[in-house]
Structure 1
Amino acid sequence: MSFRALIFDFDGTLVDTESAVLAAWQGTFRELGAELPLEKWYEVIGTHSTTPAMFALLTELVGDHDQDLIRQANRTRILARLETEGVREGVLDYLDVATSHGLRLGVASSSSIGWVRTHLERLGMAERFASVATGDRHAGKPRPDLYLAALAELEVEAGEAIAFEDSPHGVSAAKAAGMTCVAVPNPITAGLDFSHADLVLPGFDAKPLDEVLELFTAKR
């Protein structure tokens, strides 16, 4: 069985949005007189429970707060930081090579369709992906639902696709879906445990896609 598709996580994998989102929440905590413990962030990174978890932690540390005001302030901070943020180094090469091989491309993200689509369009990449599965339509990671939905839409089997992830929760989701998974941590997640991934790369520019495909094909 040969590979027919690649499915990418979005936040932190295709684009390093994680740094902007973490910085926004750190700013919010400090404005309210508290510090955001990184271990609490790592517990939820890559899932769709990040925002509820942060609000719960704020309540625990500083008491009641205006969630709507915080959401608006955080969104402003994040979008300002991401205005000039492009795709991660090497991503476009992976997408170009995949297309040249006739591989189908998908996204599996715990974020909302609005968030993912907005940034894919901003970066001129929306048309590259035949499937975009998001956390407002499916159960988030580490459950496998997002990957299963993307596989179904791409019309490929789990063994015919490779997932690319930046968080341990994301790797767990891909593996639970029965997929081969490559971890490509970003600066925020680089120190986490990715021992359950099939391959860990420091960046997309560390190993060409052709070599990744050859490596996993040889193991079959």
Structure 2
Amino acid sequence: MYDFDGLLIDSETAGLISWTEVYESFGHSIDRDHWLAETLAGRGPCMPKEQLAALVTETIDWDTVEALRLKRRDELLVLRPGVREHLAQAEELGALTGIVSNAPDWWISQRLAAVGLEESRFDVVITKSAGLAKKPAPDAYLAALDKLGATAAEAIAFEDSPIGIRAARQAGIRCVAVPNAVTENFDLTIADLVLDRIDAVPLAELLDRR
């Protein structure tokens, strides 16, 4: 089972870069520590508008700024290295797959379409829209297991952040961490394994280690 933002799609890095460029266009540097703290807390996409507004003297046309920022962010929203190869391994092995995310379903559908992945290739998709407690609560993972008809011992979760790892581990699922350029700054040692690419270890080998 896969997390989505930061794991399959590198939206966390795309968000940071797009906001960094906005700050630079006004002659300022983004507070990276604030960005990391928001990401670690799992409060959703960091939107540091108030921080920038406090730094500048002019009135900011947020409609124009945000439209340009989103265009830039979307240019950067690509699949992370190894994702297509990893999904191909899962398909070849006949392994059931699922997405377990704190994001809403419209976002996942939109971004999967943008990178050319069919949502139907995943056997289950559990999102914020299901109304379950958000990660780090295990509820979404437990719901995914139920829909897949699988036990925690049979599953592997792939996550990029401490919040997601805690959710998987509380559900009793073995977790592989694949940090991105943002979450590599965090302590991910609670994961069972940390990889620099999702396909760094063949999926068949990971399944054999269960």
Place the TM-score, normalised by the shorter chain, in its bin.
0.7 to 0.9
Task: Compute the displacement of 1:164 (Å).
Answer: 0.4
Match of 1:128 among 121, 126, 133: 121
How do 1:1-220 and structure 2 match up within 5 A? 7-27=1-21, 35-45=29-39, 49-51=43-45, 54=47, 58=50, 62=54, 70=62, 73-74=65-66, 76-83=68-75, 85-125=77-117, 126-137=119-130, 138-214=132-208, 216-217=209-210
Measured against aligned partners, the alpha-carbon deviations of 1:128-169 in whole angstroms (never above 9, x if no partner) come to 112111123333222222222222222222222111011111
Measured against aligned partners, the alpha-carbon deviations of 1:36-85 in whole angstroms (never above 9, x if no partner) come to 4333323332765234x746x8379839xxxxx75885465234333464
Where in structure 2 are there 5+ consecutive unaligned residues?
56-60
Given the superposition, is the C-alpha separation of residues 44 and 171 from structure 1 closer, same or farther in structure 2, using an over 3 Å criterion?
farther
CA distance in 1, matches of 2:75, 2:120: 20
| Equivalent position amino acid for 1:133 in 2 | I
Task: Compute the displacement of 1:116 (Å).
Answer: 0.8
Task: Compute the displacement of 1:186 (Å).
Answer: 0.9
Where in structure 1 are there 5+ consecutive unaligned residues?
1-6, 64-68
Given the superposition, is the C-alpha separation of residues 76 and 104 from structure 1 closer, same or farther in structure 2, using an over 3 Å criterion?
farther
CA distance in 2, matches of 1:114, 1:212: 31
User: Among the aligned pairs, what percent are the same residue?
Assistant: 37
| Greater CA drift, 141-150 or 40-49 | 40-49
User: Secondary structure in 2 aligned to 1:164?
Assistant: strand
Structural RMSD (CA)? 2.9
| Greater CA drift, 175-184 or 145-154 | 145-154
CA distance in 2, matches of 1:47, 1:116: 21
CA distance in 1, matches of 2:97, 2:41: 21
User: Secondary structure in 1 aligned to 2:116?
Assistant: coil
CA distance in 1, matches of 2:101, 2:41: 9
CA contact (8 A) 1:168 1:192 kept: yes
Given the superposition, is the C-alpha separation of residues 95 and 183 from structure 1 closer, same or farther in structure 2, using an over 3 Å criterion?
same
TM-score (norm 2): 0.81
Task: Compute the displacement of 1:10 (Å).
Answer: 0.8
Given the superposition, is the C-alpha separation of residues 96 and 48 from structure 1 closer, same or farther in structure 2, using an over 3 Å criterion?
same
Size of the alignment, in residue pairs?
A: 203
User: Secondary structure in 2 aligned to 1:21?
Assistant: helix
TM-score (norm 1): 0.78
CA contact (8 A) 2:104 2:127 kept: yes
CA distance in 2, matches of 1:89, 1:201: 12
CA distance in 1, matches of 2:135, 2:13: 19
CA distance in 2, matches of 1:149, 1:84: 31
